[in-house]
Amino acid sequence: MGGINRTIGYGSNYAVHQFESESQTPDPNLQAQTEAISAEIVTYLSQMGISPDYMEYMVQKTGNNVTNLSMKLLQQLNIATPHWQTKWQIAPLNDNSGFYLQGTSTDPWGAHEIAFTCAPKANPTQPAPAAQPAPSPPTLLADFYLDPGVRANAQNVVGAVQEYVLVLSGQFVPLSLSAKQAPAQVLGTRLVKSLSLTGTLVQNLESGNYPDIGLAFIFDPAAKLPMRLLKFEASLDSALLKQFAESCH
């Protein structure tokens, strides 16, 4: 729990347990020593900007038993810190026909963007065949703009994009939509992909279940690029997203 930027790698697990004494003999000073160590830990947590609530989880289990902390909890306790800064605003569309929710995320690689717009209204004159249940209509459209920075030239790697993965607070959620079905695009210096978000996901985003959102562009290994993927993330303003989504109904 040191440093300014603290991250948890993909697929990693973070767990805590009580500290223990290695001594097998009774120690009359054990309680005093335990209290002193606890005070030192709380002081260190404060210096690192970590919530003192961390101690509540640390003391729950002993020995080989551990308490697993979810990514959401790690972020709430400020154990895992984002290495990006995000600003959200409701802005007018380029043609002034309406508004969209714009999120700009800045990290060491550059400035990325997420643009939420209202999904087109379903056409009631074209019902789905009786034998096939109608798919859940999208609630929002999300355009993801990734700036590769010095890592790559967007125009040189766009053809190597194989699939997309939605990143929700550190969790990689593979999408059924492949790049072959819907190729990535390039706008200026950035890779671009548009996704349709259905009601269940939007509700989870609005409720704050996922404090962060992002997208990963996964490359075909056959392209032999120096990286397997490019991704960015943004801290989500769930209250503003909910406000915008309500205007789409």
* Tens of pLDDT, residues 50-90: 888 888 888 888 777 888 887 778 777 888 777 788 999 99
- For the CA atoms of 145, 198, 167, 238, the dihedral, rounded to the nearest 10 degrees, stands at 90
Length of the chain: 249
Query: In this structure, are 89 and 22 located in the same domain?
Result: no
Measured CA distances, 113 to 15, 79, 107, 193 (Å): 33, 25, 11, 11
Query: In this structure, are 24 and 108 located in the same domain?
Result: no
Position 232 in a domain: yes
Q: Give the pLDDT of residue 238.
A: 95
Position 9 in a domain: no
Measured CA distances, 155 to 84, 159, 167, 192 (Å): 24, 8, 23, 11
Domain range enclosing 112: 85-123+131-246
- Amino acid code (one letter) for 41: I
Query: In this structure, are 111 and 45 located in the same domain?
Result: no
Query: In this structure, are 118 and 41 located in the same domain?
Result: no
Of 136, 143, 215, 202, residue with least CA distance to 173: 215
Overall average pLDDT of the 42-56 stretch:
84
The structural domain count of the chain equals: 2
Query: In this structure, are 174 and 51 located in the same domain?
Result: no
- Cα of 195 vs its chain's centroid, Å: 16
Considering Cα of 14, then 18, then 24, then 29, what sign does the dihedral take?
A: positive
124: pLDDT confidence band, cut at 50, 70 and 90? Answer: low
Q: Give the pLDDT of residue 126.
A: 56
Q: How far is it, in rounded angstroms, from Cα 237 to Cα 234?
A: 9
Query: In this structure, are 55 and 171 located in the same domain?
Result: no
Query: In this structure, are 94 and 200 located in the same domain?
Result: yes
**Order of all β-strands in the sheet with 185-187:** 85-92, 99-107, 110-118, 138-146, 190-198, 185-187
User: DSSP string spanning 166-192?
Assistant: EEETTEEEEEEEETTTS--EEETTEEE
Sort strands 110-118 and 138-146 into parallel, antiparallel or unpaired. Answer: antiparallel
Position 8 in a domain: no
Q: Give the pLDDT of residue 202.
A: 93
Q: How far is it, in rounded angstroms, from Cα 70 to Cα 201?
A: 19
Q: How many CA atoms lie within 13 A of 106 on its CB side?
A: 3
Name the DSSP class of 46. H
Position 3 in a domain: no
Query: In this structure, are 142 and 203 located in the same domain?
Result: yes
Highest-confidence segment of 49-58, 77-86, 121-130, 159-168: 159-168
Query: In this structure, are 105 and 223 located in the same domain?
Result: yes
Query: In this structure, are 60 and 104 located in the same domain?
Result: no
Q: Give the pLDDT of residue 218.
A: 95
Position 216 in a domain: yes
Query: In this structure, are 72 and 92 located in the same domain?
Result: no
Token match 């194989």: residue?
162
Name the DSSP class of 19. -
Query: In this structure, are 48 and 168 located in the same domain?
Result: no
Check residues 73 and 243 and name the one with the higher pLDDT: 243
